[in-house]
Amino acid sequence: METAVIIDFGGQYTQLIARRVRSLNVFSQVVPYTASLKDIKALSPKGIILSGGPASVTDENAPKCDPELFRLGIPVLGICYGMQLMGHLLGGRVAVTEKREYGLVPVRRERSSTLLTDFEEENACWMSHTCQVVELPEGFRVGASSVNCPVAAMEDRERNLYGVQFHPEVTHTRNGLALLRRFLYDICHFGGSWRMEDYAREQVLRIREEVGEKGTVLLALSGGVDSAVAAALLSRAIGKRLTCVFVDHGLLRKGEFEQVRDTFERDFDMNLIAVDASERFLKALRGVTDPESKRRIIGAKFIEVFKEEAEKLGRLDHFAQGTIYPDVIESGGTLGSNVIKSHHNVGGLPKELGFTSLIEPLRMLFKDEVRALGTTLGLPAPVVWRQPFPGPGLAIRIIGEVTREKADLVREADAILRREIADAGLESEVSQYFTVLTNMRSVGVMGDERTYDWAVAIRCVTTDDFMTADWYRIPYDVLARVSRRIVNEVRHVNRVLLDVTTKPPASIEWE
C-alpha cells in the first residue's frame, strides 16, 4: 500500500496531519521520532512529513531524526518544528527570534514556489512559533515570507525537500489542504486510492495478529457509535471469538436496548450478552439527588454488573474499547500509551479483571472518520448517526431523585421530541437534543380538572466540539407540535419549557 509516513515530534497537531492526509485518500502512518531509519524504510514511504513539536532544535536534547532521511530520495515536508529541524540538520541556522508569531498571519508567497502554487499571493496562515530558520541550508530557496518571518517556507526542488513554518493542517490556514494535496499528489505522486475500507482491512489484520488464532475478546457495548463501530470491526476480524456485553441500566432512550440487540445479534450474528440490570441501578439510585453521587453510583454499579458477567463467561484474553482520538487527548494520553478513558464507564476494568491486553482499534480516528468506518462496515444509519448520549443516561436528565416512573416519563417525552425533529428534517442541523424532567410541579387544567404535574424542558443545541454550544432555534411550529404532543401523550406532564441558554455558562446536560 502506498504510504505517507508522519514522524511525530510531539506536536499537538500530528494526528490532525494524519487525518488531513487520509481525507486526501492517502494512507498514512504516524511513527515516533525515535523510530530508526531502518524502521521508516521498512514502511516504504512515498512521502515523509515531519510534524511540529514544542522543543527548540538548538537545545541539546531536542528530538531529532536521522539526517540520512533527507538523502533517501523520498520527498520530505517539514512543518513548523519539522522545517526547523530540516534547516538545522542540513546546515542552515535556526534561532529564537524576538518577535514570536501566533495566530493568523499574512504570508506572501514567492511566485517560483512549487509547493505553494495554490496559495494566494498573500495567504492567511496559522503560525505558532518562537524559533525560525534564519539562514537557509545550501540548495534551498525561500518559498514564502511574513513580516516577522523571512523564511516562512523553503524548498529545494532538486532534492524534493520542503518546509513550512506555518500549519497547513489547521483549517484556519487558507488553502492548507491544497498545499498538502500538492505535496502528496504532485511531488510524491500518490495515486490517492486509499479508502476507509482499506483502513478496515488493515485493522482487521492487526487485530487478528494481536489476538492470535485462538484468543478471545470482551467488549463493553454502550450503544454509542464508538463502541458499536469497534464491535463491528472486531466482529469482522475474529467473529464469534468476540463477546459483547451490553448493560441496560434502565436509563436508556426509548427503543435503544432493542435496537442495539437487533443490530448486533441479528444483523451481525455476534455473541451479545444483553443484561437487564435496570432494577439494580434504580434501587441503588433510590433517594439520591446529588448529580455527582448519581454518576458515581452508576459508574460503580456498571463495573459490578460487568464484572459479574465477565466472570460468568470465564476470563477472556483481551479487553476492547472504542476509544477515539479526542478521548486520548482528553485523558492526556500520548501516542502508543494505553490510557483508558478516564471519563468512560468501564475505566479500571481491564486491570481489575486481569486482561492481558487492551485493544483500541479506533484510537487514531476522529469522530467523523469513525462514522465513515461504521458505514463501511455496514452498520445501520441510526447507529452510525446517533447523537451522543451520556454514560449515566437519563439519570442526569431527571433533576432530583430518579425513579422508574420518572425515567419512563422523560423517555416518552424524549421520544416525541426525537420523532418531531426527525419529521421536520432537522436531525442533521441539531447536534444534540433531548428533554429534561425538571424537579418542579405546577398547576394546570386538563378537561375540567385541576392538575398538579411535572414540567418538562426541551434542550436542543448546536456545537462542533461539545465544549461550547449555542441553543438551537427550533421553528415555532415544530415547538408547538412537540409541546402539544408531550402534554397530551405523556401522563403527569402539564407544562413544557424551552432551555435558551448557551454553554458556557450552562452545560449541555442539566446535571
For β-strands 93-109 and 122-135, DSSP reports them as antiparallel
360 among known catalytic residues: no
Q: How far apart are CA 52 and CA 13, in angstroms?
A: 7
CB 144 within 8 A of CB 115: no
Interface pick for ligand XMP out of 382, 388, 440, 442 (rule CB under 6 A): 388
For β-strands 318-320 and 3-8, DSSP reports them as unpaired
- Residues 420-459 vs ligand XMP: string with x where CB under 6 A? ------------x---------------------------
Residue with cell 432512550: 253
Residue 200 gets the label, from left (phi > 0), alpha (psi -120 to 50) or beta, of alpha
169 among known catalytic residues: yes
- The reply on whether position 371 binds ligand XMP by CB under 6 A is no
- The reply on whether position 100 binds ligand XMP by CB under 6 A is no
For residue 109, give the 3-state DSSP assignment.
Answer: strand
Interface pick for ligand XMP out of 78, 87, 223, 392 (rule CB under 6 A): 392
Listed residue (238, 390, 203, 231) closest to 320, CA to CA: 231
Residue positions counted in the chain: 511
Amino acid at 165: Q
Decide whether 350 or 390 has the Cβ nearer to ligand XMP: 390
For residue 433, give the 3-state DSSP assignment.
Answer: strand
Q: How far apart are CA 438 and CA 455, in angstroms?
A: 6
Decide whether 59 or 465 has the Cβ nearer to ligand XMP: 465
- The reply on whether position 390 binds ligand XMP by CB under 6 A is yes
What number of chain residues touch ligand XMP (CB under 6 A)?
12
Decide whether 36 or 342 has the Cβ nearer to ligand XMP: 342
For β-strands 449-462 and 470-471, DSSP reports them as antiparallel
Choose the stretch contacting ligand XMP; rule: CB under 6 A; options: 5-13, 143-151, 302-310, 390-398.
390-398
- The reply on whether position 507 binds ligand XMP by CB under 6 A is yes
Decide whether 101 or 256 has the Cβ nearer to ligand XMP: 256
Interface pick for ligand XMP out of 118, 210, 408, 509 (rule CB under 6 A): 509
Interface pick for ligand XMP out of 295, 397, 411, 459 (rule CB under 6 A): 295
Listed residue (151, 176, 321, 169) closest to 244, CA to CA: 321
Distances (CA, A) of 266 to 259, 261, 270, 374: 10, 8, 8, 17
- The reply on whether position 468 binds ligand XMP by CB under 6 A is no
Interface pick for ligand XMP out of 320, 395, 486, 508 (rule CB under 6 A): 508
- Residues 323-362 vs ligand XMP: string with x where CB under 6 A? --------------------x-------------------
Choose the stretch contacting ligand XMP; rule: CB under 6 A; options: 71-79, 187-195, 386-394, 471-479.
386-394
121 among known catalytic residues: no
Choose the stretch contacting ligand XMP; rule: CB under 6 A; options: 79-87, 94-102, 373-381, 387-395.
387-395
Choose the stretch contacting ligand XMP; rule: CB under 6 A; options: 153-161, 371-379, 490-498, 500-508.
500-508
Phi, psi of 301 (to 5 degrees): -65, -40
Strand order in the sheet with 93-109: 27-32, 3-8, 45-50, 76-79, 161-164, 153-156, 141-145, 93-109, 122-135
Decide whether 203 or 222 has the Cβ nearer to ligand XMP: 222
Q: Please give the residue ranges that form the binding site for ligand XMP (CB under 6 A).
A: 295, 343, 388, 390-392, 432, 466, 503, 507-509
**Catalytic residue positions?**
80, 167, 169
